[in-house]
Amino acid sequence: MTTPAIPETAPQASGLRKWSAYLGPAVSVAILCAVLWQLRQLNWLMVVSIIPRSPLIWLVLAASYFAGPVADWVIFRKLWGIPFSGLAPLLKKLVGNELLLGYVGEVYFYDWARRHVKMEGSPFGAVKDVAILSALAGNIITILMMGITWYVSGRVDFGQNTWLIVSAIAFALATSLVITFLRKGIFSLSGRALWFVFMVHCLRIAAGMGFTALSWHLILPEVSIGTWILFSTIRLLVARLPFIPNKDIAFAGITPLIVGKGVQTDVMIAMISMLIVATHVILFIGLMLLDLVQKEKNA
C-alpha cells in the first residue's frame, strides 16, 4: 500500500504562498503605471473646460460611475459579509479593469479577499463565478439591446464598422453559449447564490445604462431617444470586445465613425469619456494615498 507524498506538496504550497504575496502589489503597480500613463495622455485643460456646471449632471454621472462597484459590494456583502470598507478594493478593481486589460481587477480583488476576508476555502471560486455571471448578464442585455436598436432605428447603417459590430455580437453569443453548456463544470456557488449574483448584475447594467442615458439627455436634451438607444447599444458592444483597455476612450472614438462626424453628440461622448478616465486617475491615486495614510497610522 502506498501513501500520498505529503512532504512533497508542502514545499509546493509554501512556494505558492510565497509567490502569491507579490500578486497584489504587482497588480497595484501595474494599475498605477496605467494611471500615470493616462495622466500623461490626458489634456487636463480640455477636461477643466468641459466640466459640466449643473449639479444634477454631476449626481447622475456619479451614480452611473459607482453603480458597478456598489453592485459588487452588495454581491460580496451577501456572499462573504464584507464591510463597507470593502468598497475601496472594488473601486480599484474597476479602475484596473478599465485602464488595463479586463479581469486584471478581479486578480487584484481576489488577492485582497484572500488576505482580508475570513471564509471557508479559497475566495477564487466566488470571484470567478461573479466575473463570469457579470459577462453573461452583459452579453444577454447587449443582445436584447441590439434587437431593440434594430426595431427602433432599423435604418441605422454601420457602414465600414459593420465587421466590428458583428464581431462583438458573435463574441457575446459564443461566450454566452459556452457558459450555458458548461455551467455545471464552471460554477462553484450554489444555485440560489448564482441567481442572486446574476440578478444584481442585470440591475447594475440596467441602472448604469439608465444613468448614462439620463446624463446624455441632460447635456443634449434636443437629441432623440432613438439616438440614445443606439449609443447605449454601441457602448455595450464596445464593453463586450476583449483585450481592449480604456473602453470609454474606444467608445468615444467609434461613435463618430458610426453616426457621422457632423453629429453634435460626438463632442459630448468624448467629453464624458475623458471625464470618466480622469475620475479613474484621481480616484486610484486618492485610494493609494489613503492606503499609505492608514499604514502609517497602523505602524
- The residue with greater pLDDT, 215 or 17, is 215
Please give the average per-residue pLDDT across 5-20, as a whole number.
44
Q: Residue 37: its pLDDT value, please?
A: 66
Residue 193 pLDDT > 90, yes or no? yes
Q: How many CB atoms lie within 10 A of CB 14?
A: 10
Q: Which of 5-9, 15-19, 84-88, 110-114 has the lowest mean pLDDT?
A: 5-9
Residue 202 pLDDT greater than 90, yes or no? yes
**Hunting for cell 443634449 — which residue is that?**
220
What integer best gives the mean pLDDT of the chain?
75
The answer, yes or no, to whether residue 201 has pLDDT greater than 80, is yes
- State the Cα–Cα distance between residues 56 and 91, nearest whole angstrom: 23
Q: For residue 216, is pLDDT > 90?
A: no
pLDDT at 292 over 50: yes
Cα 10 from Cα 1, distance rounded (Å)? 22
State the pLDDT at residue 16: 40
